[in-house]
Amino acid sequence: MDDTNVSDHEPIFNSSATESASVDEEPVITVDIYDPSNWGSLDNKARDILVEKGPKGKEENTKYPLDETLRYFSYSHYSRKMSNGEVRDRRWLVFSKHAKKVFCFCCKLFNSNKCKSALGHDGFCDWQHISDISERLKEHEASVDHITNMNSWNEMKIRLSKHHDY
């Protein structure tokens, strides 16, 4: 499949969601590649595209859905204030509109089966304990799994960019 004309909004790999097709045609099956809840069946090409383009979803004016306790994910969790006052971007944090959960971009892509944190496999959505999410995010980003997967992500991004420079 040629992905040279792939836009940021076009799905580019197959899944179980079908679009209309005539009786004689095979159904065209597409999924949103940028939603981490769909990353269970990624092939290497799709993963390369995600690594090159990076995570999507940090839209400041997004209204996150309410859960049954009328709580929701907050945009403020996309950044972390350090003890020295510096604010750091959590570029690895991705919200799945489909699953209504947050995921860790690099842990979901590189180590979802072994990652101990829900952010790396099933996602996190316990908005009732929203004050706990900041602690969970801090614990996750300090974990060996996360640091290893961040390194894998950064190394692959560099490797892919060098490959495109030829």
Q: Is the pLDDT of residue 86 over 80?
A: yes
pLDDT of residue 164: 64
Query: Exposed, middle or buried, 131 (CB in 10 Å: 0-12/13-18/19+)?
Result: exposed
CA distance 60 to 78: 10
pLDDT of residue 92: 94
Q: Helix, strand or coil for residue 5?
A: coil
Q: Domain coordinates of the chain in residue numbers?
A: 36-163
Q: For all residues of the chain together, what is the average pLDDT?
A: 79
Confidence of residue 8 (pLDDT cuts 50, 70, 90): very low
Q: Helix, strand or coil for residue 118?
A: helix
pLDDT of residue 152: 93
pTM of the model: 0.76
Higher pLDDT, 130 or 79: 79
**Segment 21-74, tens digit of pLDDT:** 455 565 555 668 888 988 887 888 889 999 999 888 677 777 888 888 888 888
For residue 124, the 8-state DSSP code is B
Output the CA–CA distances (angstroms, integers) from residue 20 to 13, 15, 23, 35, in the order listed: 17, 14, 10, 22
